[in-house]
Structure 1
Amino acid sequence: MSSWKKAAKTNQRTHRERHQPESRKHLGLLQKKKDYQVRAKDFHDKQRIIKLLKRRALNRNPDEFYFHMINSRVEDGEHFEIEKEDEHTPDQIRLMQSQDLKYVTTKRTIEARKINRLQSQLHMLDAANKVKNKHIFFVDSEKEIKNFDVAKRLDTHPALLDHRINRPRMSTLQNMSLPDVDDTVVDQLTSQRRKKYVELHKRIDREKELSIIQQKLEIKRHLQNKKETKPKRIKPGTKDAPPVYKWKYERKR
């Protein structure tokens, strides 16, 4: 009996699902049963979850206590999360915030020094050359106006007329020994100068952000001082500016 079953199993034909006919090939792959089972299971799981959430929403008691009631507050129509500081003592929190303030102050000082160094190297010459100003020349007759030559009057080369900064005279140019510079070297120098201006712009933005963070930390430190009277908030803080508080004037002895 067992040998007959084995023989029947070996002679059993494997039935395969048909593929997409050639006339319907433009519609894509034909969905097989295993694909349908996966899609159907996913659909029914989502329907079951939606039904469960609907039931929970209907059965929910609006007066029921939940922890977010005491972990958040609404101030001036704006929602705030209350920071959890139970795991540290007040002295530890004060020390950590003072260390953060020192770190931000140090970083801001470093950025300010780098900005000054870059500005001293670049001198902002390009910005000075782009400033629109006037240079008035006085002449005695109409004939001088017609024959007026700006380069000759300024005693410089015509190519240097747009350079308001570092415009040497012809006598100085004749005595100067200039190296042979081709267009490739000029392009490299221009690219390096442009990169330095981009770096300067980024460092100025970073120094501004560090300044805002420093002001926010200083205000936060003053607000934690229990000896001082609680100040009145005039303007809330934003990402571009710290909050503005007004303390009550107290005359010191």
Structure 2
Amino acid sequence: MSSLRNAVKRVEHKERAQPASRRKLGLLEKHKDYVLRARNYGKKRDRMQALKLKAAMKNPDEFYFAMHRKKTEGGVHVLDGAETLPHDVVQLLKTQDLGYVSTHRSADERKAAKLRESLHMLEAGPRNKHTIFFDSEKEAKEFDVAKHFDTVPELADRAFNRPRKDTLEKAQVTGATNRRQLKKVLKKRDASYSELMQRLERAEKMKKAEVHLEAQRKVMNSKGTKRKVQEAKDGRPAVYRWKKERSR
């Protein structure tokens, strides 16, 4: 019975718009708008109550020795006398970051290559439309898609793999045979294309990060006096120039 209940067309209840006499007040707030506004208000109210409770419970005589090394600048805590990491430690961290980025970039490129091999028409734009011209409106109204393409009505809605009747008598049709299966196949294909684009974009970002890390590592490993001649821009790393020294 549930399948029959879903097959019957139901009345679509629509929310009314803002009356003409109240149009000056803007759009009429719907239930979903009220829910968002109420949740936002409740979130801010709970946050303010938590901050007020935290301020009320704070001990004014609280003290710990780290206060000697800390101060605030513009409301932000700044730690004085912070020890910097040694040069060799920073160099090792840069090398590890470079290896991590390079590994993930290679993995994304390999997976994108496999997806590209499994998909078809990668560089194509939107699907083509089959346009048919008529001499009169009567011909357009009496037009039969299945008769025009010499196929069965079940396959008339297909834009691809639409065999003729004589082909159906000799061979078996492969692929989706109804609208639900076709929709499922198209949804899976769109998900694969979306994953492919995401992996390509991530691989491109990883490649830019790899170039920056490689440049930083080379600068740290270099010797001699250097100066920066160009800042990093458009995804390219900064450019340095070293002072020429006579070899001994």
TM-score range with shorter-chain normalisation? 0.3 to 0.5
TM-score normalised over the length of structure 1 = 0.45
Instruction: Give the greater-gyration-radius structure (CA).
Output: 1
TM-score normalised over the length of structure 2 = 0.46
Greater relative CO (CA pairs within 8 A, separation 6+): 2
